[in-house]
Structure 1
Amino acid sequence: MEQFKKDIQFLYPDRVDETLQEIDQIMNHYRAITPSEAFKLDEEDAILITYADSFKDENESTLQTLNKLCKKYLKEGINSIHILPFYPYTSDDGFSVVDYMEVNPDFGNWKDVAELEKSFYLMFDAVINHMSKSSDWFKGFLREDPEFENFFIEENPDKEELNMVTRPRVWPLLHKYNKNGKDAFVWTTFSEDQVDLNYANPKIFLKVLDVLLFYVSKGAKLIRLDAIAFMWKKLGTTCIHLEETHRIIQLYRKIIEQVAPQTVMITETNVPHSENISYFGNGLNEAHMVYNFSLPPLLAYSLHKENVDVLTHWAQSLQLPSDKTCFFNFTASHDGIGVRPLQGIVSDAEIGKLAKIVESHNGRVSYKSNPDGSESPYELNCNYMDLLTNPNEADDLRVKRFMLTQAVMLSMPGVPGIYYHSIFGSENDEQGVIDSGINRRINRKKLEFSQLEKELNQPGSLRSKVYEMYMKMLKVRKAEKAFDPFGEAKFYQENGVFIVERKSASDTVYCLYNFTGGEKDIEKLTEGKIDLATGNNADSSLTAYEFMWIV
């Protein structure tokens, strides 16, 4: 316990001994029931990002359908699955959790999760900044049950210091609730249904620790800490990235490492790049991985500009604090494409141009509130293929432009996370937005297993073209040691071709990308080299939007 004492003294100086004792009890409980298994990230790791109910089939739970689909169609290229929140919830497609320790009965049960873990490594979501207002915790708080006292944050809405708080949404920071017959204004970073937990109360710290270790005991090899930047609130500050927040994450890592040292912690902080990477800590004490949030909008920006100068300069600036950390690379997710991570890399005017492209491709743009009362783009709500290409363009051109960006993502140092709509070549679900009024639904459509299977087996369909090309790349990637997540990488360009150079003890792989609609001469780069995709001598040119991995 001595190793945790300094952090507890910093966070909870009035409750040091009691908190340490509680931590010890929780750790001892989970040590007895948590299997100790070897797990180390390497070049074979590729993670599917999906909801528990993304795929549906008759007469089985959606978790069973997910298992069936992944084993049949993805096992050769995907070895891990990030199941987005699969707990009982009330809104935000899972991110308003009612009970952290139950499986939503609409999706299945813990037995279904255990079956999935037999074939794949699993990432669980820890939605621990906030809970549903329908949770037992918040209900107890509202009826003034002593067990839930100070579990959430009440504040006076007239305090001027609240104007300093960083806002990721346009609606109010505080919402009014009936607390045992009285009005209570409670902190809600994201929505009226998502009430923020009060980490200034050590009971919340302990409750959440119990949740995290419970997930490990249920088979989670990786844990995603959702919206983690907002955890600690302190009036007079922006209430984002506070030292207390970092210390909590560091302490959770220390404790979990004592019980299950193989566990990988990933922080999700959709903020400018320099702020995002602060969650690596010193490289040994905080997140093992952070989301590479600048990559998705930057790839789209570079493709539309047909210029890789900014992409190259940004990639050359990437630094990691140690060889024990890496990026979680992705291009699409259940959320939209955040544009805050572009700040400081391209101008606000260029971000505005991207937003206009999204709207012209039948997408949506979500906005955030600024301290001066203005609003600015926060997120592009669009299927990634529809962001990159006009839906009216020919399929072959769309696939080339889309797969170019996916290949870059797969070749970046770090672990790739692939959204289910990306690997199966989906497009905007405009009807989903119309029916729900929720912009993010444009990229969250549920897929019928039988219909998806039919389209995948239809030669020349958009889905089959994307799926077949994606699986081919994944098989090539997992066979090359040079794609180790922690391996060496260099970034440069020649003749306007973006180049990612990956190196292992035995090989150097050169990944060449043409972001333009014209042909590029690459004879000097490919001479004497083999195309990994074909096993033949590499060609001397790249056609429009073509890429090549050579060795």
Structure 2
Amino acid sequence: MSELLDNLKHKLQQQLEVIYDGITLNRSYDKLSDELIALMRLNDEIQQPGFFQNNWDEGDVILITYGDSVIRDNEHPLKTLRKFMDKYFGNTINSVHILPFFPYSSDDGFSVIDYSSVNEALGDWKDIENIAGDRRLMADLVINHCSSRSAWFQNFIRGEGPGSDYFFTASPDDDLSQVVRPRTSPLLRETETARGLEHVWCTFSHDQVDFDFRNPDVLLAFVSIIRQYLDSGVRIFRMDAVAFLWKIVGTTSINLMQTHEIIRLLRSLIEHAQPDAVIITETNIPNTQNLTYFGNANEAHAIYNFSLPPLLVNTLITGNCLYLKRWLMSMPPAQNGTTYFNFIASHDGIGLRPAEGLLSDEEISTLINTMKQFGGRISWRTTESGEQKAYEMNIALFDALQGTTAGPDKWGLERFICAHAIMLGLEGIPGIYIHSMLGTANDYEKLKNTHHNRAINRKRWDYDMLTMELGSKFNHHQKVLNRMKQLIDIRTRQKAFHPNAIQFTLHLGLQLFGFWRQSMDRRQSIFCISNITDEPQILRMGELNLTVTDTWRDLITDTKISDPMEEVTLQPYQTVWLANS
């Protein structure tokens, strides 16, 4: 055994001891670590990880899309998606997150029936591999739960075969009062099995049955899945709902120590198999809890910046950046080997839990009411005390930014572009939902047909219809696409926009939101300043202390700054990126 492999095995054994402490297993830690190494084929193909290595740069932008967000008659959607991305995004966007592309029974893919197959309605593994050959591919590891229609759960009901002991059960008499829930449905699902009536733990819905990671066979099953995904070209793993992975009756059953250790163990395996692979944890929880998933640069490479969407939308509808600025000042810079995953729209809604402690109850109430005025819907959760509380706002971002708290206005497009200009400048890797690239509005028809609030922002475009829309100068879809591509093309050429480049928050009042970025070689500086109001605002350049010996230029308008001490008027929702090179 090589020294590298020997060291990895020792590390895995230590991690397994932490995870399964107090649990009687049917094999030794030595045996279990050997099984994990064999499943990942590390006996033959082990590689040296690049510790504290940034596997990303300023050129990385991730498109978020369903496999069938764009469809065409008589063509597999994954083929259509690839053609669409090639035609309209080209080299502008180099990475893509295809949301769950597996057979599923509900939740638009997140109730997985079979992790090893591609949904036949979308295409096959060859289609996935072709996309991975063009762009860096991000895929979901739906690790907390699977479909109640899966073979594993059917074996659980029968009491035999793989899956028969994969699922977490509890008793209705257990103390479950502290369990943190993201939904209002009952936690336990009654299920008749060969052993009698069982009560299966369901964090999200009764069609999404939770795994029991106390059984090491569950861990082995997911390591096998990870190996398959790596072989098919996946290089970024989105660990879905991972905060809920480990359960202990009588606790909150969220963010438990064992959950963090499992992430560390999976990272140990992945980075020795594919050193440039990236793990992103999806943990829609309060900001301080979310930050813990960096660990000591040994857990997630990146974490979803869940607080950004509600804070940024709140800023732009109120014309006041106090809360956004306060939050940005509190965010620790990500150390090398870690970064933030920034987004402001996704297939889900705008989460409100990440705004807890950052926005007051009054601010959240105003935000909710404004989104409802713009056609949005609200999803609810049950708190530990049994109270119903708003969990998420479901609305297309284009509609969410159509106006202010005073109502709709003429500045919707500019406000929408301003939101993305801010996001694209921030420390971290930007992720952009396909419907934000297209300026897609609320899909009330899909909402009506499915009765699921999240469907409002999950439109399925017909390829030919969309091509016609994007070919017209007279609608907003083409305008949005062109302006978004312009911003991205500018961003990806700037060293100061590296995800780990230095960032400081500027103090320019409450109507101008600004921050400063500096490249890691300290050669390039960019001042990112946005007017977040519907009135013109004066930017006094002298307050920025621009180095007078440098030549300064606004990258967005390609305009030279003739006098670094002058006053400049920023039009409503205008952003400038002032760079010295």
Q: How does the TM-score come out when normalised to structure 1?
A: 0.96
In structure 1, distance between residues paired with 2:44 and 2:489: 37
Secondary structure at the aligned position of 2:505 is classed as: strand
Secondary structure at the aligned position of 1:154 is classed as: coil
For the 8 Å contact 1:30–1:217, the answer to whether it is kept is no
For the 8 Å contact 1:173–1:187, the answer to whether it is kept is yes
For the 8 Å contact 2:158–2:164, the answer to whether it is kept is no
For the 8 Å contact 2:103–2:119, the answer to whether it is kept is yes
Shift of 1:148: 2.8
Secondary structure at the aligned position of 2:139 is classed as: strand
Match of 1:179 among 178, 181, 193: 193
Secondary structure at the aligned position of 2:371 is classed as: helix
For the 8 Å contact 2:344–2:423, the answer to whether it is kept is yes
Match of 1:25 among 29, 38, 60: 38
2:19 aligned partner: 11
Secondary structure at the aligned position of 2:312 is classed as: helix
Matched letter for residue 369 of structure 2 = K
1:510 aligned partner: 527
Matched, 1:336 2:349: yes
Matched, 1:349 2:366: no
Alignment of 1:70-469 (within 5 A): 70-159=85-174, 161-180=175-194, 182-283=196-297, 285-320=298-333, 322-390=335-403, 393=408, 397-469=411-483
For the 8 Å contact 2:151–2:163, the answer to whether it is kept is no
Q: Post-superposition, which runs of at least 4 consecutive aligned residues in structure 1 deviate over 4 A? A: 29-34, 36-39, 390-394, 525-528
Report the more deviating stretch, 178-187 or 468-477: 178-187
Secondary structure at the aligned position of 1:510 is classed as: strand
Report the more deviating stretch, 341-350 or 189-198: 341-350
Matched letter for residue 332 of structure 1 = A
User: Identity of paired residues, percent?
Assistant: 38
Matched letter for residue 414 of structure 2 = K
For the 8 Å contact 2:76–2:123, the answer to whether it is kept is yes
Matched letter for residue 41 of structure 2 = N
In structure 2, distance between residues paired with 1:239 and 1:30: 35
Shift of 1:29: 6.7
1:494 aligned partner: 508
Match of 2:573 among 535, 545, 549: 545
Matched letter for residue 116 of structure 1 = I
Match of 2:537 among 490, 513, 520: 520
In structure 2, distance between residues paired with 1:459 and 1:30: 58
Cα gap change, 1:33 to 1:494, in 2 (>3 Å)? closer
In structure 2, distance between residues paired with 1:497 and 1:362: 28
RMSD across aligned positions (CA): 2.0
Report the more deviating stretch, 350-359 or 42-51: 350-359
In structure 1, distance between residues paired with 2:254 and 2:195: 32
1:534 aligned partner: 557
Q: Deviations over 1:99-153 (max 9, x none)?
A: 1010000000011111112211100110010000111111111100054332001
Secondary structure at the aligned position of 1:327 is classed as: strand
In structure 2, distance between residues paired with 1:298 and 1:148: 42
Q: Deviations over 1:193-239 (max 9, x none)?
A: 00001101000011111111211111011000000000000011100
Report the more deviating stretch, 320-329 or 161-170: 320-329
In structure 2, distance between residues paired with 1:248 and 1:68: 38
Matched, 1:67 2:102: no
In structure 1, distance between residues paired with 2:334 and 2:487: 29
Matched letter for residue 153 of structure 1 = F
Report the more deviating stretch, 23-32 or 410-419: 23-32
Shift of 1:19: 1.1
Secondary structure at the aligned position of 1:469 is classed as: helix
Shift of 1:39: 8.8
Shift of 1:21: 2.0
For the 8 Å contact 2:54–2:338, the answer to whether it is kept is no
Cα gap change, 1:280 to 1:320, in 2 (>3 Å)? farther
Q: Deviations over 1:501-522 (max 9, x none)?
A: 1111321011110011111112
Count of aligned pairs = 547
For the 8 Å contact 1:33–1:217, the answer to whether it is kept is no
Report the more deviating stretch, 513-522 or 91-100: 513-522
Secondary structure at the aligned position of 2:176 is classed as: helix
In structure 2, distance between residues paired with 1:119 and 1:149: 39
Matched letter for residue 487 of structure 1 = A
For the 8 Å contact 1:291–1:328, the answer to whether it is kept is yes
Secondary structure at the aligned position of 1:185 is classed as: strand
In structure 2, distance between residues paired with 1:39 and 1:271: 25
For the 8 Å contact 1:30–1:259, the answer to whether it is kept is no
Matched letter for residue 10 of structure 1 = V
For the 8 Å contact 2:490–2:555, the answer to whether it is kept is yes
Matched letter for residue 537 of structure 2 = K
In structure 1, distance between residues paired with 2:456 and 2:337: 36
Report the more deviating stretch, 137-146 or 235-244: 137-146
Q: Deviations over 1:27-75 (max 9, x none)?
A: 22796599x9999300000000000111001221100011001011112
For the 8 Å contact 1:98–1:135, the answer to whether it is kept is yes
Cα gap change, 1:302 to 1:278, in 2 (>3 Å)? same
Matched letter for residue 547 of structure 1 = T
For the 8 Å contact 1:30–1:213, the answer to whether it is kept is no
Report the more deviating stretch, 88-97 or 519-528: 519-528
Matched letter for residue 442 of structure 2 = N
Secondary structure at the aligned position of 1:472 is classed as: helix
For the 8 Å contact 2:46–2:272, the answer to whether it is kept is no
In structure 1, distance between residues paired with 2:68 and 2:219: 30
Matched letter for residue 82 of structure 1 = H
In structure 1, distance between residues paired with 2:344 and 2:250: 35
For the 8 Å contact 1:316–1:492, the answer to whether it is kept is no
For the 8 Å contact 2:45–2:273, the answer to whether it is kept is no
In structure 2, distance between residues paired with 1:179 and 1:51: 35
